[in-house]
Chain A
Amino acid sequence: EDKVVQSPLSLVVHEGDTVTLNCSYEVTNFRSLLWYKQEKKAPTFLFMLTSSGIEKKSGRLSSILDKKELFSILNITATQTGDSAVYLCAVGGLIFGKGTKLSVKP
């Protein structure tokens, strides 16, 4: 059975901290791994990863995929209160993890 597991499920940090969110997967037909940020309503797209070892960056966020070990990480440096959200990992379009709830305290 295809599955995506995210860890930790929740995380509380202080502004300025660096966090690493994890996503591991087992799927039969891998095309891509995607990260989303969900605040109140619609998840918003962060990264799409298809190749191992190539880091994608957007400001303070970065992500990398390891297709051999079947996982991805999402890093957020110098966290801000606006980073507080649920971060979702998905493989292809069908299988989502339960998410990591990140709370950044001032």
Chain B
Amino acid sequence: GAGVSQSPSNKVTEKGKDVELRCDPISGHTALYWYRQSLGQGLEFLIYFQGNSAPDKSGLPSDRFSAERTGGSVSTLTIQRTQQEDSAVYLCASSLNRMGNSPLHFGNGTRLTVT
């Protein structure tokens, strides 16, 4: 079946603008994760959704970052008033069930460049 789909694949925006990044997980996967990967760095956890539970937002770096997951499927990560340090690849992943019990399947990411 289809894998995790992310859009756009690339986004260039001016400092101060808001951006929305979209993730369409694998059908039937209850868990969804957002990560950020800066050049040459590992994956930085941002937020985790599991079913209908309240999301784990502990990784969000500031209140300019927010995410929602509608209907337990598609998720949108929003960055308000973007800064240059927000430039990174934003990766979304989904897993069949709760964190740690099944492997994550990643999308190809959105490369965000803030000029």
Once bound together, how far apart are the Cα atoms of A52 and B105, in whole Å? 24
- Are A48 and B48 in contact (CB-based, < 8 A)? no
Closest B residue to A93 by CB, please name it: B99
Using C-beta atoms within 8 Å of the partner chain, give the interface range for chain B. Answer: 20 to 34
Residues of A within 8 A of B (CB): 31-32, 34, 36, 41-45, 48, 88, 90-99
- Are B59 and A34 in contact (CB-based, < 8 A)? no
Residues of B within 8 A of A (CB): 3-4, 31, 33, 35, 41-45, 48, 56, 59, 91, 93, 95, 99-109
Count, A-B residue pairs, CB within 8 A: 60
- Are A93 and B48 in contact (CB-based, < 8 A)? yes
**Most chain A CB inside 10 Å of its own CB: which residue of B56, B100, B101:** B100
- Are B33 and A93 in contact (CB-based, < 8 A)? yes
12 residue pairs from A and B, CB less than 8 Å apart: A31-B99, A32-B100, A32-B101, A41-B109, A43-B104, A48-B103, A90-B104, A92-B99, A92-B100, A93-B33, A96-B45, A99-B42
User: In the complex, which residues of chain B have a beta carbon less than 8 angstroms from the beta carbon of A36?
Assistant: 104, 106
- Are A45 and B45 in contact (CB-based, < 8 A)? no
